[in-house]
Amino acid sequence: MSFLAIDLGGTQFKSALISEDFQLEQSFSERPSARDLEDCQKLLQDMIAPHLDTIEGIAISCPGTIDPITGTVYNGGMLQYLDGFSFKAFLEKSYQKPVAVLNDGKAAALAELASGNLKGVQNGLAMIVGTGLGGGIIINGELYQGSHFQAGELTFALPQDKMSPLSGEDLAGGGSLSAVNVIARCAKALGLSDEQDGRAVFEAIKRKDERVYSIFQGYCRQFALQINNLQSILDVERVVIGGGISAQAILIEEVNRQLDQLETENAWVFKVVKRPQVTACFYQNSANLIGAAYYLEQTM
């Protein structure tokens, strides 16, 4: 028997069958994100119904602060209509299958801890880039949820250079580290008609096209700054970067180059704050799905 894992993102819903040893068995076509709760419920039903006879349970990964006992989402991150909704109650009543719900960043961290690039790491951090910036923190070899289940909500870290109050629009999109935002900026600079054409954007970045390369470097510097600031608090061994953008090797290379530059500029800081290893998630864009399935198996 397999687990059906569903990842609800700000731009797309993904689903896959995950084996009992947490391998990706089969991925299904991505669907555009739902517009509201009713649309979300219908999409979930369409994604689940074909697999009911072959699955052992349903694992959900989504943004927001999630009570792991009730499976209720609070806030909902990029999907505000999920606020107060219990996936667990809705899906278990509908399908009589075990259901587990976990924040997307925490799910990615669990996948990496189980059998990815955080395996064997006592203290680690997963940074998951998409519409916003999710995170999952591993402390003493275990997922750290926090006192209010909101540890790792990196989207909502306020920038230090903002003197005026921030609006929801400033935070939505993950601020300066939103992959969707940086791709849109680069696409606009290239004159592309599709602002989500990440393939064309990264082809230009790899060529060091002057129209976009400085934008990309600035993005990676912000990433390096965020890693350093988090490291001063968490003191982890390794940071793994996930989400679709993490499949681009140039991203990890440039983030490390920007960390090199920060170390040159601020040697006194790095004498105290030990720099962590920075690499891509082993599971890259599938980390949320695999981690959600792993969490489901733990709760069953």
Model confidence over 203-243: pLDDT tens digits?
Answer: 999 999 999 999 999 999 999 999 999 999 999 999 999 98
Report the alpha-carbon distance of residue 241 to residue 221 in Å, rounded: 14
- Predicted local distance difference test score (pLDDT) of residue 8: 95
- Predicted local distance difference test score (pLDDT) of residue 155: 82
- Predicted local distance difference test score (pLDDT) of residue 284: 82
- Predicted local distance difference test score (pLDDT) of residue 160: 60
Residue 78 confidence (pLDDT) above 90: no
More confident residue, 115 or 140: 140
Model confidence over 11-29: pLDDT tens digits?
Answer: 899 999 999 988 899 999 9
Model confidence over 252-288: pLDDT tens digits?
Answer: 999 999 999 999 999 999 999 999 999 999 998 888 9
Handedness of CA 274, 246, 138, 123 (dihedral sign): negative
The contacts found for 231-237 with CB under 8 angstroms, 24 or more apart, are: 231/273, 231/274, 231/275, 231/276, 232/273, 234/123, 234/125, 234/137, 234/139, 235/123, 235/274, 236/121, 236/123, 236/124, 236/125, 236/137, 236/138, 236/276, 237/121, 237/122, 237/123, 237/124, 237/276, 237/277
Report the alpha-carbon distance of residue 19 to residue 2 in Å, rounded: 5
Same CATH topology for 2-108+286-299 and 120-281: the answer is yes
More confident residue, 153 or 259: 259
- Averaged pLDDT of the chain: 91
Residue 173 confidence (pLDDT) above 70: no
- Predicted local distance difference test score (pLDDT) of residue 103: 94
C-beta of residue 232 within 8 angstroms of C-beta of residue 121: no
**What is the fold of 120-281?**
Nucleotidyltransferase; domain 5 (3.30.420)
Mean predicted confidence (pLDDT) in 65-87: 91
Contacts of 146 (CB under 8 A, 6+ apart): 152
Residue ranges per domain, the chain? 2-108+286-299, 120-281
- Predicted local distance difference test score (pLDDT) of residue 227: 95
2-108+286-299: which CATH architecture?
2-Layer Sandwich (3.30)
C-beta of residue 278 within 8 angstroms of C-beta of residue 262: no
Contacts of 191 (CB under 8 A, 6+ apart): none
In this structure, what are the phi and psi dihedrals at residue 209, rounded to the nearest 5 degrees? -60, 125
Q: Which two tokens stand for residue 102?
A: 């976990």
